[in-house]
Homo-oligomer: A and B are copies of this chain.
């Protein structure tokens, strides 16, 4: 218990190796991770969380880097969680872009961390939210979650953040893909990156018209499109301004507290699922499943019967003690 406390203290002190270790811990999962998250929970809820999502190649990492640099100028501390398997943050060995981020790497008040998307079974799942909580408890002012891929993962990010930024480039098909993947619905802010490229005007128009059809948004907030050329630092200041404008909007309309409550509820349900799983998969039930499998395969047992058997075997921890 003593070591737990010391560990948490190092975290709250924004000790870099401590933070790195904590995130590896939540990535690995297990009991120690649970205890850590419970310990830091009371210190979370202070950081502002921004999701940056969009198709591969839209320039999300470069843009995240630019936003970080802009916010650093006003003295804010920043954490970037990259859950994008194609992100230069994620796997420096394969791309050279990592070099471009060198100044951020050397800044004590910027922490960049990539997360594995494989093997977690839940995509942008629990460990991304856990990492954000760790950065939050460690006192970072802004937490950026960069996620990519077409489909579910991109949409999930909105549950983890306060402001969702959707980044597109004027490449052929990007807008069609974005629309199909449901990205139009989740954007609080749109970014048309690489807006100096041909096709940018048409792309802007198609997003604009898609925006006019959607039913996200509210009477308090109108989603705008910000034009950037992240590789030349163009438009980053305007984007940061728009993010801060959205932050103010959420705070003055009480929507921020609502988002926070929803996040806490989602986390709580996740923790419950985790605890229940441990109860369900007792060695007795694992054995029951193992014995049943060959019988199901040979048609002697119906899957539904095995499900019923295993559910009957579940014993609540409280009940066992009675």
Contact = CB atoms under 8 A, between A and B. Distances in A.
Nearest to A310: B272
B176 A95 contact: yes
Nearest to A302: B38
How many protomers of this protein does the assembly include?
2
Interface string A126-144: 0000000000000000000
A150 B149 contact: yes
Given A151-B148, A276-B280, A311-B279, A319 B319 contact: yes
A260 B118 contact: no
A319 to B, nearest CB: 7
Contact of A313 (B42, B315, B316): B316
A217 to B, nearest CB: 19
A314 B311 contact: no
Contact of A296 (B153, B264, B303, B312): B264
Taking residues whose C-beta sits less than 8 angstroms from the other chain, chain A's interface range is 35 or more
Contact of A94 (B176, B277, B279, B280): B176
Given A304-B38, A311-B317, A312-B319, A151 B117 contact: yes
A265 B280 contact: no
Contacts of A86: 150, 176-177, 180-181
B148 A264 contact: no
A179 interface: yes
A267 interface: yes
B261 A293 contact: yes
A42 B313 CA distance: 25
A265 B289 contact: yes
13 contacts: A42-B299, A91-B180, A117-B152, A123-B123, A150-B150, A153-B153, A260-B297, A261-B297, A271-B307, A272-B306, A272-B307, A279-B314, A308-B317
